[in-house]
């Protein structure tokens, strides 16, 4: 919790001294969220244009960025679409898998902790 405390010369930070001293703000402990990579896998059947559309539509990449990522996956077998908090990453994976299933492409997408 945020609180203001009065700190005198013989008091440690955060100890309460109501009569005199300097008001210092004690920051609450906060945790950075864990981040997750969304990974795209290559296959022999999903059209390149479909992968580019996925990268533009779901991962908000420009056409040039999307093409570069798609070609990286095509040539290396695997590649990163982006890094997100868990909820965002799992939503994007589900959106990719749903779009691939609807279009009957075998495109695979997963997430991994960074
Ligand atoms: N290898 C596919 C083809 O030549 C294109 C492709 C790229 C498929 C990236 C999946 O994640 C992928 N049609």
pLDDT at 19: 56
Distance 28 CA to ligand 1 centre (A): 47
Task: Give the integer Cα–Cα distance in Å for 110 and 41.
Answer: 8
With beta carbons less than 8 A apart as the criterion, state whether 84 and 11 touch: no
pLDDT at 69: 98
Spell out which residues line ligand 1, taking CB within 6 angstroms: 40-44, 46-48, 51, 70, 73-74, 107
From ligand 1's centre to the CA of 77, what distance in Å? 9
- Summarised one tens digit per residue, pLDDT across range 30-39 is 999 999 999 9
Q: Which of 10, 12, 13 is nearest to 27 (CA)?
A: 13
* Residues of the chain under the 50 pLDDT cut: 1-17
Alpha helices of 11-113 — where are they, by DSSP H?
48-57, 63-76, 86-102
Query: For helices 48-57 and 86-102, what crossing angle results, to 10°?
Result: 140
**What would the pLDDT profile of 2-25 be if each residue is shown by its tens digit?**
443 334 444 444 444 455 788 888
């Amino acid at each position: 919790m945020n609180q203001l405390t009065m700190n005198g010369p013989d008091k440690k930070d955060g100890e309460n001294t109501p009569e005199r001293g300097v008001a210092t703000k004690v920051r609450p402990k906060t945790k950075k969220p864990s981040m997750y990579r969304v990974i795209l896998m290559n296959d022999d059947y999903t059209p390149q244009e479909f992968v580019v559309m996925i990268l533009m539509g779901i991962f908000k990449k420009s056409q040039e960025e999307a093409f570069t990522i798609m070609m990286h996956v095509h040539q290396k077998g695997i590649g990163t679409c982006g890094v997100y908090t868990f909820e965002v990453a799992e939503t994007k994976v589900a959106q990719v898998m749903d779009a691939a299933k609807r279009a009957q492409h075998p495109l695979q997408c997963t997430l991994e902790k960074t």
